[in-house]
Structure 1
Amino acid sequence: MTTVATMDVDELNPDQEIDFCTLGMFILDEIQYPPPKPPQYNVLGGAGAYSALGARIASPAPFESKKVGWIVDRGSDFPPDQTALINSWQTSCLLRTDPSRLTTRGFNGYDATDHQHRSFHYTTPKLRLSHNDLLDSPVLLHAKSFHLICSPSRCISLVTNILSLRRQTLYPLSPPKPLFIWEPVPDCCLPTELLATTAALGYVDICSPNHSELG
């Protein structure tokens, strides 16, 4: 007989107003530096963690910080001290625990001759967030703005599906349209993706590439 593990979800305050919600991934990073600098392990990483942190810096605790929403998926290997760190930010973080899987982890290696060069790969299966993950907490679905980091086609899909879910859950009311902040992934910032990127711009309010995407 096969045992199916259930995911434990920490509930958020159903009355909490959310100004900013990111669908960026959460990753626990291993960072390897050139000798003699020692490596670092279990470092909070991923676009989800850093966008939430950026929003948190601009949102003082204890009230404004709660308007920052994000999702963290904890596997069986998740360090308790990282849960304590996340809780110390006093944000509206939806913590989901699945003992049947490992936390998404990544390896970051820096070149000894070129400290600007960083290699990266996943060391455990990655868990990407989608619009359906917002159903675990309606307060996140009804956020005033959403941060998306993805390809142009996925951006269009997320925007249309988030708006559809909001209409369904707020029916018969007419929900206000949220702001969509899109961060293109570097792999898609190529001349061959120009038309797709231009199409995606019609679905978002802000396009926010970083230096890698602009290069």
Structure 2
Amino acid sequence: MPYFATLGMFIVDEFAFLDEAGNPTPTQPMAPQIGGGGTYACIGARVWLSASQVGMIIDRGSDFPPAMENKLAGFGQEMWFYRTQLSGTTRAINTYRGDHRSFDYITPRIRITPKDLQGTRLENSTTLHFICSPSRASTIMSEVQQMPGWNPTVIYEPIPDRCVPEELDALVQVLPQINILSPNAEEALGLLSLPLPPSKKLIEEAAHKFLELGVGPDGKGSVVIRSGSMGACVALKGLPTRWVPAFWTSKDEDKIVDVTGAGNSFLGGLAAGLLVADGDVYEASFHASVAASFVIEQTGLPNISLTSGATLWNGDRPERRLDELKKRQVEVDH
């Protein structure tokens, strides 16, 4: 049985660069890239798991770039379940205007639901990840509950533009069915009407507020707030809040090339870490931080290679980074 499935999408990302007045800049045109929160979540899980343990559905049109299909195959062909879409592959435009980035779909979105997993190897996966509004999360969980014998560990990533106070009631309704809630820091504060910018104190306050609202069955779920270079805040009811460091921090500017997909890959790594760490969310978050570190080192997906039986990511071993990160945390604790 596969371990990790995501309902996130595959998207072909296109790019536009504008000045503050909205005029195209002379920036070198950027080729379309592999995108989509589901894709990056799968890659984060793949850092720690075999290809046969990870998977997602990809809606593929006749316009699907062959180079992208070849890149995906390098991570393990069995990870990707292609569905033919006559309407074409989902595409989006990332527009950079000064320091502001906007994201807009330029083709219709084709949402993936739990029932779409039926009849594939991903049916009844142990862990389920999805990215959506709190309102849609309830619909997804209702569908999961209608599938007999399936009780996955659920990792829910709220979609950024719906992390607003108006969605809090809908979030409260679905929280008892969520095992791990993981917004990023800005999203967490936005949902709870807490002030920006984020600080560790505010992030911890947000984590405790979510726990008080009742995360997980019997209130035994977890909150992991992804906080960029500050690391990740991990909160479980009845236990002290703990922080897991980011592998690359603001001191490592030369290593941080593009943070697109970092949060998604963190959660794929978190899901994988739960298996490796026997369900310990705090320990799993170290695996998550390492998975995200590979994603932000370049534009697009990291490179995977096999050398002397070891799987390397961007030429490095995830296990080496995990050891380094844990040693770093021990030094902070002492």
Report the TM-score range of the alignment, normalised by the length of the smaller protein: 0.7 to 0.9
- Quote the residue 1:103 is aligned against: 89
Residue 149 of structure 2 corresponds to residue 163 of structure 1? no
The residue identity in structure 2 corresponding to 1:192 is E
Question: One-letter code of the match for 2:101?
Answer: R
- Aligned residue number for residue 44 of structure 1: 34
Contact 2:7 2:130 in 1 (8 A): yes
1:194 corresponds in structure 2 to 168
> Over alpha carbons, which structure has the higher Rg?
2
User: Secondary structure at 2:13's aligned position in 1?
Assistant: strand
Are the aligned partners of 2:7 and 2:56 in contact in 1 as well (CA < 8 Å)? yes
For residue 207 of structure 1, what is the aligned residue in structure 2? 181
TM-align CA RMSD: 1.7
Q: 1:78 aligns with which of 46, 64, 87?
A: 64
Runs of 5+ in structure 1 lacking a partner? Answer: 1-16, 168-174
How much has 1:209 moved relative to structure 2? Answer: 0.9
**Corresponding position of 1:141:** 123
* Structure 2 residue 48 is the aligned partner of structure 1 residue 58: yes
2:31 alignment partner, SS class: strand
Give the AA of the match of 2:11: I
How far, CA to CA, are the matches of 1:149 and 1:182 in structure 2? 6
Superposition map of 1:84-99 within 5 A: 84-90=70-76, 91-98=78-85
CA distance in 1, matches of 2:137, 2:185: 20
Output one character per residue of 1:136-182: Cα deviation in whole Å (capped at 9) or x when no partner: 41x212100100111122112212212322x1xxxxxxx36210110
Secondary structure of 1:140's match? coil
Sequence identity percentage: 40
Instruction: Compute the TM-score of the two structures, normalised by the length of structure 2.
Output: 0.51
Q: Which residue of 1 aligns with 2:200?
A: none
Comparing 153-162 with 42-51, which one deviates more in the overlay?
Answer: 153-162
Match for 1:132 among 111, 115, 135?
115
How much does 1:212 deviate? 4.2
Distance 1:30 1:211 in 2: 26
Determine the C-alpha separation between the residues in 2 that align with 1:83 and 1:210.
30
In structure 2, the residue corresponding to 1:143 is in which secondary structure?
coil
Q: 1:105 to 1:176 in 2, by over 3 A?
A: closer
- Look up the equivalent residue of 1:111 and give its one-letter code: R
Partners of 1:119 and 1:153 lie apart in 2 by: 23
**Residues in 2 aligned to 1:19 and 1:82: alpha-carbon distance in whole angstroms:** 25
Task: Encode CA deviations 1:67-89: one digit per residue, 9 max, x unaligned.
Answer: 01111111111111111111111
Q: Which amino acid aligns with 2:59?
A: D
1:20, 1:212 → 2: CA distance?
27
Q: Partner of 1:214: helix, strand, or coil? A: helix
* TM-score calculated relative to the size of structure 1: 0.78
**Structure 2: 5+ residue runs without aligned partners?**
19-24, 190-334
Provide the secondary structure at the position in 2 that maps to 1:39: coil
Quote how far apart the aligned CAs of 1:187 are.
Answer: 2.5
- The 3-state SS of whatever aligns with 2:9 is coil
More off after superposition, 78-87 vs 32-41 = 32-41
The 3 A distance-change label for structure 1 pair 155 and 49 is same
Shift of 1:42: 2.7
1:178 aligns with 2:152: yes
8 Å CA contact 2:6–2:38 kept in 1: the answer is: yes
Q: Secondary structure of the residue that 2:83 maps to in structure 1?
A: strand
- Name the counterpart of 2:10: 26
Residues 1:121 and 2:104 are matched in the alignment: yes
> Is the 8 Å Cα contact of residues 144 and 150 (structure 2) preserved in structure 1?
no
* DSSP 3-state at the match of 1:40: coil
Could you tell me how far 1:135 is from its partner in structure 2?
Answer: 2.0
Question: What is the CA-CA distance between 1:58 and the residue it aligns to?
Answer: 2.2
CA 1:136–1:31 in structure 2 vs 1: closer, same or farther (change >3 Å)? farther
The amino acid that maps onto 2:27 is K
